[in-house]
Amino acid sequence: MTWNVTLKATLLLSVAMMASPASAQATAHEQVPNLPRVFWHGMCIPASQLKIPLPYPPSFNSSGGYLGQTRGRWTYVHIPPRELKKDFPHWVEPPLQTNLGDIEVFNVPGMDVFMAYDIPIASGYATPFMLNLYSLEGPYKYAKVTKLNHSGLYEVRKAFRYPGDPKWRVLFKINPRASHKPPINEWHRWFAGFCTVYKESQRYPSTCTFDYATQGIAFEYAVTGKNFLLYRQIDDFLAHKVHEWRAACPG
């Protein structure tokens, strides 16, 4: 039997077109490990990483309140050290025990990332903490603003600190004294987080907590030492995780 070249090409093309969706779907699912997963707000997260829900934002007591409004309880995932080292070659794992003045802290290897289903702040509404921070008024009037050239962030330090107040400083993604700033309700564009400084002589803060929002999910995570320089990469990592966890859901 002699095949017509045109007919043969047409049949091969038809077979390839019929097979391509299944192949593409298989390829997409091959990229996501086949692990036991838990469904959470449209994402299927590895059950071994998803932890118990929290009734309030993780930094509520230390930062004066989470900037964004969120729906439901917070939960968190634990990112193991091997994954951090793979995605962040310059990640520095802190020692298991750290002495912070008179406090001894036991560090769990890896990083805990807190999450909540995010609702943008309603137009015209903001907490007093946000208003004072955004406009540098109230406790932040006369605040000292320092550009951290090695990170691209701006550190805001209160002009006055009462005895006993925690030594923490706010981090902005933009100059808080700029003439044009993003709207206050788009907090993820101007607010980065805050850091705690235990020794003024340290080149890097002891601990930094960053807030981030993407694709309807609010995130908060803490890093130690010079790992705070990786905050933009960590934000990108979390945005990718949202895509990965959504792709892991069946269908």
| 157 vs 161: CA distance, rounded Å | 9
Q: Is the dihedral of CA 196, 226, 117, 155 positive or negative?
A: positive
Cβ neighbours around 162 below 10 Å, total: 7
| DSSP 8-state assignment for residue 50 | B
Residue 5 predicted with pLDDT over 60? no
- Residues 184-189 have a mean pLDDT of 83
Q: Which residue has the tokens 């859901």?
A: 249
What is the tens place of the pLDDT at every residue in 196-224? Answer: 865 555 566 678 899 888 888 888 898 88
Q: Which pair of tokens denotes residue 95?
A: 């020692």
What is the tens place of the pLDDT at every residue in 90-105? Answer: 898 876 665 555 555 5
| DSSP 8-state assignment for residue 188 | H
**How many Cα atoms within 13 Å fall on the side-chain side of residue 243?**
8
Angle at 109 between CA 118 and CA 218, to 5 degrees: 5
What is the tens place of the pLDDT at every residue in 112-149? Answer: 999 888 766 544 566 788 888 999 999 899 999 999 87
pTM: 0.74
